[in-house]
Amino acid sequence: MSLSHASRPAAHFMIEAPTPGADYTAVIAGLEAEAVGRYSLRSPASGEVIASVADCGAAQARLAADNAQRGFESWRQTTPFARAALLKAWHSAMLEAKEVLALTMAREMGKPIGEARGEVDYAASFLEWYAEQAKRLDGDILPSQHPDKRLAVLRQPVGPVFAITPWNFPAAMITRKVAPGLAAGCSVIVKPAEQTPVTAILLARLWQQVGGPAEVFQVITAERPAEISDLLIADTRIRKVTFTGSTPVGKHLYAKSAATMKRMSLELGGHAPFLVFDDADIDAAVAEVMASKFRNGGQTCVCTNRVYVQRGIFDSFAKRLAQAVDALSVGQPEEETTQIGPLVSQAGRDKAQSHIDDALAQGARRLTAAREVDGFFVAPTVLADVTEEMRIMQEETFGPVAPLVAFDDEAQAVAAANATPFGLAAYLWTRNLGRAHRVSEALDYGIVGVNDGAPSVPQAPFGGVKDSGIGREGGRYGIDEYLDLKFVSTRLDG
Ligand code: SIN
């Protein structure tokens, strides 16, 4: 495989954010030969059509799988150093195209523009980190009890990968999967969420514009993707499926993938507790709960969903949190001052609003001011007098609502935090070092933030336990998900 990135200038990448009338094709090598339908992409902020996007089906999925197999055969032969150079070039291209990518996410999913720029940095950080990690795909030499034998362990790419990515981080959840896959020597087909296809398409265009081979990273878009997913999961050439999304869909994909014995990574739902102990610096604790709860309008898998506050500081914490939430600016995603945009869909808005309505109907108290909102917007809300029976304490809300519950002691708080089938992220605020260790060890979660509401970084393992999924993304752990171990035993006098 010849890689042409070295001869490309770093400037003038040809990508555009969605505007009415814009038309995006999927990024599948050879697709020009195929007739593909279109679906309309609507802004969650205004409801207007903002672009038309390729609506792929079985024929395009087959073509993508053929390409991915061919791409894999040649990509796996490239050196990790060549792969690293391409990932680095892609990283620079993403940062150079930051405004276009950020605007695209603001338009597609309603992410406030400031946060969208932050997501571009976060997404690009996975490309940079795995560019460096590609050079560390070392194996092992094992000691042998036989004088005439040499024992080695190789780490080799699993093969073509099918990645199903969510709408809440349209760029970062792609790069967190694709970068380790490419670094390992796999080819990857991404099926982005139907709400956010354009960011994925632009990332693939940037990849090609820095010299990335078209068959190695492809994007297949569809309004109703079940047919594509079923086909690619049944295809024996696809050796791994990686999915970020809801727990019911993850379990469905896991069961389907058993027939072809695929490697699986599943990053599923969360229901994160935040425990605030009475030794907390209340203002600092409020700031971390704000960061964890209201980031992305509450639409992240690691967003705090339940806030447990020790009784002695409950009232003063609740008052300050409500003040901070009342100060949040709700508005159009492209306005610089906006902190909370619309939720992504009618279904998303209805679920979050129904959690508020259900809690209020069962006796919860709203601590924040009422605001006039319409469309897919939900007023950021803090609720007190919440009980464990309310829906908001049982299900992931994925919206800007913070329910507060008082607790008396450490054991009670840990038991409440763990009383859920989910186990993605949990948080606590304390100045007591012993408690910080005790509680973080006792929480049944894949990620714990101690006095830290925003722990995600590219070098750390991200993922959950129990119904929150299997496998880890990020860091040196994340690349193992794309590698098989091969043991080679060599008899010297053979
Ligand atoms: C997610 O919501 O799954 C991603 C959040 C993160 O990377 O911090």
What tens digit of pLDDT does each residue of 227-240 get? 999 999 999 999 99
Q: Is the shortest distance between the CB of 169 and ligand 1 below 6 Å?
A: yes
Q: Is the shortest distance between the CB of 301 and ligand 1 below 6 Å?
A: yes
Question: Which entry of 108, 267, 396, 481 is annotated as an active-site residue?
Answer: 267
How does DSSP assign 52-70, residue by residue?
EEEE--HHHHHHHHHHHHH
Which H/E stretch holds residue 130?
helix 113-133
Average pLDDT over residues 392-405: 98
- Cα gap 197→275, rounded to integer Å: 37
Give residue 9's pLDDT: 40
Q: What are residue 209's phi and psi, to 5 degrees?
A: -70, -20
Residue ID of nearest Cα to ligand 1 atom 7: 456
pLDDT, tens only, 134-143: 999 999 999 9
Locate the ligand 1 atom nearest the alpha carbon of residue 455 and give its number: 8
Q: Is pLDDT above 80 for 8?
A: no
- Cα gap 214→165, rounded to integer Å: 19
Mean of all residue pLDDT scores within the chain = 96
Ligand 1 pocket: which of 462, 468, 472, 473 to mutate (most atoms within 8 A of CB): 462
Residue ID of nearest Cα to ligand 1 atom 3: 301
How does DSSP assign 105-129, residue by residue?
HHHHH---HHHHHHHHHHHHHHHHH
40 CB neighbour count, 10 Å cutoff: 13
Report whether 265 contacts 470 (CB < 8 A).
Answer: yes
Report whether 170 contacts 200 (CB < 8 A).
Answer: yes
Q: Is the shortest distance between the CB of 126 and ligand 1 below 6 Å?
A: no
Q: Is the shortest distance between the CB of 97 and ligand 1 below 6 Å?
A: no
Query: Lowest-confidence range among 7-16, 401-410, 479-488?
Result: 7-16
Q: Is pLDDT above 80 for 437?
A: yes
Locate the ligand 1 atom nearest the alpha carbon of residue 244 and give its number: 3
Q: Is pLDDT above 90 for 260?
A: yes
Average pLDDT over residues 391-405: 98
Give residue 303's pLDDT: 98
Give residue 36's pLDDT: 86
Q: Is pLDDT above 70 for 376?
A: yes
Between the CA of 111 and the centroid of ligand 1 the distance, in Å, is 14
Q: Is the shortest distance between the CB of 274 and ligand 1 below 6 Å?
A: no
Give residue 29's pLDDT: 81
Q: Is the shortest distance between the CB of 456 and ligand 1 below 6 Å?
A: yes
Give residue 7's pLDDT: 38
Question: Which entry of 301, 303, 396, 481 is annotated as an active-site residue?
Answer: 301
Quote the Cα angle for 406-419-340, to 5°: 65
Residue ID of nearest Cα to ligand 1 atom 6: 456
DSSP for residue 7:
G
pTM over 0.85: yes
Ligand 1 pocket: which of 105, 302, 457 to mutate (most atoms within 8 A of CB): 302
- Cα gap 177→462, rounded to integer Å: 11
Active site residue 267: yes
Give residue 292's pLDDT: 98
Instruction: Please report which confidence band the pLDDT of residue 6 belongs to, taking 50, 70 and 90 as the band edges.
Output: very low
Structure tokens at 481: 């998900």
Locate the ligand 1 atom nearest the alpha carbon of residue 456 and give its number: 8
Q: Is pLDDT above 60 for 394?
A: yes
For 23-268+469-486, the fitting CATH number among 3.30.750.24, 2.10.10.90, 3.10.180.10, 3.40.605.10 is: 3.40.605.10
Give residue 33's pLDDT: 63
Active site residue 336: no
> Which residue, among 410, 420, 361, 352, has the nearest Cα to 381 in the 3D structure?
352
- Cα gap 116→167, rounded to integer Å: 12
Q: Is the shortest distance between the CB of 397 and ligand 1 below 6 Å?
A: no
Q: Is the shortest distance between the CB of 296 and ligand 1 below 6 Å?
A: no
Domain boundaries, the chain: 23-268+469-486, 272-459
Between the CA of 233 and the centroid of ligand 1 the distance, in Å, is 24
Q: Is pLDDT above 60 for 5?
A: no
Q: Is pLDDT above 80 for 3?
A: no
How does DSSP assign 384-412, residue by residue?
ES--TTSGGGTS---SSEEEEEEE-SHHH
Give residue 31's pLDDT: 83
Average pLDDT over residues 286-306: 98
Q: Report the percent of the chain where pLDDT is more than 90.
A: 93
Q: Is pLDDT above 70 for 21?
A: yes
- Statement: 272-459 belongs to CATH 3.40.309.10: yes
pLDDT, tens only, 195-224: 999 999 999 999 999 999 999 999 999 999
Report whether 339 contacts 330 (CB < 8 A).
Answer: yes
Average pLDDT over residues 386-397: 97
- Cα gap 481→459, rounded to integer Å: 15
Q: Is the shortest distance between the CB of 468 and ligand 1 below 6 Å?
A: no
Between the CA of 453 and the centroid of ligand 1 the distance, in Å, is 12
Between the CA of 316 and the centroid of ligand 1 the distance, in Å, is 30
Give residue 10's pLDDT: 39
